[in-house]
Structure 1
Amino acid sequence: MMARFIRWLLCLLGVVVLGGGAFYVVTAPSPLPASHWTNLGDPDLKNGERGFWAGGCTSCHAASGAQGDAKLVLSGGLALTSPFGTFHVPNISPDEKAGLGSWTLADFGNAMKQGVGKQGEHLYPSFPYGSYTRMSDKDINDLWGFLKTLPKSNNVAPPHELPFPFNIRLAVGSWKFLYLNDQPRAILANANEKVKRGQYLVEGPGHCGECHTPRDSLGGFIGGQWLAGAPNPEGKGQIPDITPGSKAIGGWSAGDIANYLETGFTPDYDSAGGSMAEVQQNIAHLPATDREAIAAYLKALPKR
C-alpha cells in the first residue's frame, strides 16, 4: 500500500516538474539572437527621426509639459496608472547610467520587438512593444541611431509600484503567450500601397490601438474590437471609436482625417484635446504622405 502511494506521489511530482518546466519554456523571455541585429548598416537618421515622431516617444518619456527642444530630453518619470498598479516610465536618453547609453542595438531591438530588457527580463506591456513588434528591423535600427543623438539626462525614474502578483515579471510571459504576435490587426483585401503604409504606421509605431481598442481583464485586446473605442487609460472619459461608421469620425473624409492630424482641427473647427492633442502634435511632424496613409487605412477598415 505504501509502495503504491510512493509511486503515485512520485508520478504526481514528475507531472508537476514537467508541467513547470514546460510553463517556463513557453513563458521565458525570448530575445532574438544577436545575429538578427547584425548587417543592418549605418542608420538613416532622417528616417529615425520620422519613426521617433510616429512612435510618440516624447509623449511618455519627456518631462510633463515639455515644449520645444525640451521634448527631446527623454528623462522619463511619468507615472502611468492602470488596474494593475502604477508604472513609472524609464529614462531612455543616451545617458550611460540613467538611460540607454550602455545598450546595444540588439538590446534596444529586443525591447521593441520582444519585450525583453537588457538583463534578459520581461518588460511590462505598459511599454507598447505589443505594437512596436510590427516595426521593421530597418526602422528600429534607424530609430536607435536617432535616439543616440539626443541630449542625455541623469534622471532616474522610480521603480514600478505593482501589487502581488503583478510584480512577478515571469507572469508577463503568460501574457505574451496569449497576446504578443506580429500579425496584422486588420485583414484588408486588395489594399494599395498607401493603405499598407497607413496600416504599418497605425498598427506598428503609431500604436493607436493601445488607447483606442478595448481590453479584457488580463489587459489584452478584445478580438473583433480593433480601434472600437475604450475607457480612457488615464481614468476619465472614453477614447473614441475611430472605425468607419463611428460617431466620432465615421462622417469624416480621408482629407478631413489627414487635416486633423496635421492641424488638430476637426471639420467642425473643434480641436484635439486631452492626450490626443500631444499625439496630434507628434504626427504633425510626419510627411503629408504619412498622414494621408493613416487616413486611407482608417477609411479602409471594415465598418462595425
Structure 2
Amino acid sequence: MGRHTRKLISGVILMALAGAGAAWWLTKPRAWDAAHWEGLGEPDLANGEQVFWAGGCASCHAAPGAPDDQRLVLAGGRALKSPFGTFHAPNISPDETAGIGDWTLAEFGNAITRGVGKDGEHLYPSFPYGSYARLTAKDVNDLWGYLQTLPKSANVAPPHDLSFPYNIRLALGGWKLLFLTDEPRVAVNNADAKLARGQYLVEGLGHCGECHTPRNTLGGFEPGMWLAGAPNPEGQGRIPDITPASKSIGSWSASDIASYLETGFTPDFDTVGGLMVEVQKNMARLPPSDREAIAAYLKALPAR
C-alpha cells in the first residue's frame, strides 16, 4: 500500500470519526442545567393534584378500568399499541424499587420535559414529553410533590416490545432534533390570559395533539395539521378533527365544549366514547375556568 493510499484511508477514517462525533453531540440526551430545578420551594400539593388530572397521568399509568381511588395507584403496565410496536407504561408510583420513589425532582423533571431517563438515556415519545416540554418548573415541582403522596405499588411493568430499528434508543436523539420543541404549536391572535391558559393546557399539560394531530412516517406531527384529526393509535377508526371548522365540534359554542368536558354530554345529548372517556373524566376534575380556557383556545385556532 502506497503512502498516498494510506493517507487517503486515514483521512476517510478521521472524517468518519468526526462525523460520528458530531452526530453524537447533536443527538445526545440533553437534561436541564441543575439550576432549573433549584429554588422552587415546597410543592403546592393542591396545584400538583390539578396538574396530575390535567396531564392525564392516571389514564396511562393506572390499571385499565381501575375504579375511583384505584386510579391513584400508578402501577403501570398498560399496553400502548403503535405502528412502531407496543409500549408499556411504567410504574410511576412512589415505590422505591418498582416505581420512581428513589428519583430526584431533577430526574423526574428531565424525564417529563426533556425525555431523558434517570440513567441519562433517551425515553420513547410514547411518553408525551413532546407536549410536556411546555410545563413550567413550578408545575413539575408541584406534580412531583403530589405523586409522593400516592400509594406505592410493587408491580413491575413489562419492557417495550419493539422491532428493529425502533428498539435502538440512540436513534431517538435524531427524532428529538427534528421534532422536540417547547415553542407554541400555533400563533393565537389577541391572546389574553384565558387564551394563554388554554394554550398551555391544550398544547402542554393536556397533550391533546398527541392523539388529535396526524403524524408523518417518523412519528412527528404533520406541519399545518394541528388538531386536524388522526388515525386511532389503537388501530380502529379515527380521532376527530377538533379545529373550529371541523364536522365534529365546529358548530359547538365555547360553552358547549366546556360543558362536554365537564359532563361528557354533547349538545345533542350523545355521550363521550372511546379513548375520550378517560380524558373527560380527568377534565371534569379541573376548575371551570380551565375548561373554559380550553374551549376558548379551541375556538380561537386559525382556520385551516
Q: TM-score, normalised by structure 1?
A: 0.99
The 1-side partners of 2:88 and 2:50 are apart by 26
Aligned to 2:233: 233
Q: How does 1:107-256 map to 2 (within 5 A)?
A: 107-256=107-256
| Letter of the 1:41 counterpart | G
Aligned to 1:276: 276
The 1-side partners of 2:20 and 2:5 are apart by 22
SS in 1 for 2:207: coil
The 2-side partners of 1:34 and 1:107 are apart by 10
| 1:266 pairs with 2:262 | no
SS in 1 for 2:150: coil
In structure 1, list runs of 5 or more residues that go unmatched.
Answer: none
Question: Deviations 1:245-274 (Å, cap 9, x if unpaired)?
Answer: 100000000000000000000000001101
The 2-side partners of 1:226 and 1:11 are apart by 46
Report how far residue 164 of structure 1 moved. 1.1
| Letter of the 1:295 counterpart | A
Aligned to 1:35: 35
Q: CA RMSD in A?
A: 0.7
Report how far residue 26 of structure 1 moved. 0.5
| Letter of the 2:40 counterpart | L
The 2-side partners of 1:32 and 1:245 are apart by 39
Q: How does 1:78-97 map to 2 (within 5 A)?
A: 78-97=78-97
Aligned to 1:104: 104
| Letter of the 2:161 counterpart | E
Report how far residue 81 of structure 1 moved. 1.0
The 2-side partners of 1:258 and 1:71 are apart by 23
Which consecutive aligned stretches of 4+ in structure 1 deviate over 3 angstroms post-superposition?
none
| 1:14 pairs with 2:17 | no
SS in 1 for 2:81: strand
SS in 1 for 2:161: coil
Question: Deviations 1:146-204 (Å, cap 9, x if unpaired)?
Answer: 00000000000011111111111110000000000100001112111101100000000
Aligned to 1:25: 25
Report how far residue 86 of structure 1 moved. 0.8
Report how far residue 35 of structure 1 moved. 2.0
| Letter of the 1:279 counterpart | V
In structure 2, list runs of 5 or more residues that go unmatched.
Answer: none
The 1-side partners of 2:138 and 2:20 are apart by 37
Farther-moved stretch of structure 1 (123-132 vs 184-193): 184-193
The 2-side partners of 1:68 and 1:203 are apart by 27
> What is the number of equivalent residue pairs in this alignment?
304
SS in 2 for 1:81: strand
